[in-house]
Amino acid sequence: MKKLIYIIIAIINFCITNHINSQNLVPNPSFETIDTCPYYANQIYFASPWFQPCKHFGNTTNSSSSDVFNSCDTSSTLVGVPSNAASFQYARTGNGYSGIYGSSETSNYREYIEIVLNTPLQVNRKYCLQFYISLADYSGIAISNMGAYFSVDSLLDTTFYHAIDYVIPQIENPNGNYLSDTVNWMLVSGNFIASGGERYLTIGNFHNPQNTDTIHTSYPNGTAYYYIDDVSLVDCTGVGEEEMGMSNVEISPNPAANQFTIENSQLRINSIHIYNVLGELVLERIANSEKVIDVSTWKAGVYFVEVETEKGVVRRKVIKSTMY
């Protein structure tokens, strides 16, 4: 009987730990909860507790230039969903999302969004972050340097909307993986080990113009404006690719001239997304669809494969080779 009790207690503790670890530490993660329906730009603070870390004009309300968009706005063409002043984009989930200027070729102008986490991060614990972004149609450039910085104190200051380039983000989209898709939502994700006590999360581009990885689009201006949706931060300590069965995601052959196959012997594959080096979606497959990918007509080069399983997303790089 005593052994049975110990087993039951162990099972309960395991379930509690995994439930806690899977909780999203970001409040209002998809910008659905709004204090007031936005009716103009610069109102990210309506999606409380999100705010812009700037009080150049005295406080975050007067100084806000970051935006929130919601389908409740039907009286203007500025901040509605899907149609608004920056583009036409449906929310990835729900009815809302946020928006910030990620870069400008002609100035050091930047916008960020910041939030206080539900609980401070614990020392030496591993945390996994992901959020989705989409480039607005009216953007003349696309960048790769979108990331996230975790801090004990807020990055709030009184300087005009400048690049916060004096910190190094713990999580950042890799150089060369340009976030240029204006139709689909692109995933930015990563993990890091907390120093302990981090309470604030700030999202944006933490590079000055000279160090921002940039490509031009067909639109004639020098700015990059991004929508942001579905921000998630969970304690994933002890959960790696091995534990999740995600290390068994295999792509073969690689390099591939005509086709390659994506396989995972342990987990069900829910979806497959493949991007080129410009960050453009070139292929999407849903659950139970064909996992043999025909690349015979693709340009030779590097492609990025995102495989979503029931345990999370794993990324692989595949090379399309020329035929001999």
CA torsion angle for 182, 187, 188, 193 (degrees, to 10)?
A: 170
The two tokens of residue 96 are 């809302």
Which of the four pLDDT bands, split at 50, 70 and 90, describes residue 75? Answer: confident
The domain made up of 241-320 has a fold known as: Immunoglobulin-like (2.60.40)
Q: Where are the domains of the chain?
A: 19-235, 241-320
- Rounded Cα distance between 146 and 133, Å, is 9
Which of the four pLDDT bands, split at 50, 70 and 90, describes residue 21? Answer: very low
Q: Are 118 and 191 in contact (CB under 8 A)?
A: no
- The contacts of residue 288 (CB under 8 Å, 6+ apart) are none
Instruction: Please tell me what DSSP assigns to residue 78.
Output: S
- Rounded Cα distance between 152 and 4, Å, is 43
Tokens 């009987």 correspond to 1
- Rounded Cα distance between 98 and 35, Å, is 14
Kindly report, residue by residue over 234-281, the tens digit of the pLDDT.
998 876 555 555 556 788 898 888 999 988 766 677 788 888 877 778
pLDDT of 241 reads 52
Mean pLDDT in residue range 82-108: 93
Residue 83 pLDDT > 70? yes
pLDDT, the chain, mean: 85
Kindly report, residue by residue over 148-175, the tens digit of the pLDDT.
999 999 998 878 788 899 999 999 998 8
Is 241-320 the same fold as 19-235?
no
Residue 11 pLDDT > 60? no
Domain boundaries 19-235, corresponding CATH code: 2.60.120.260
pLDDT of 3 reads 42
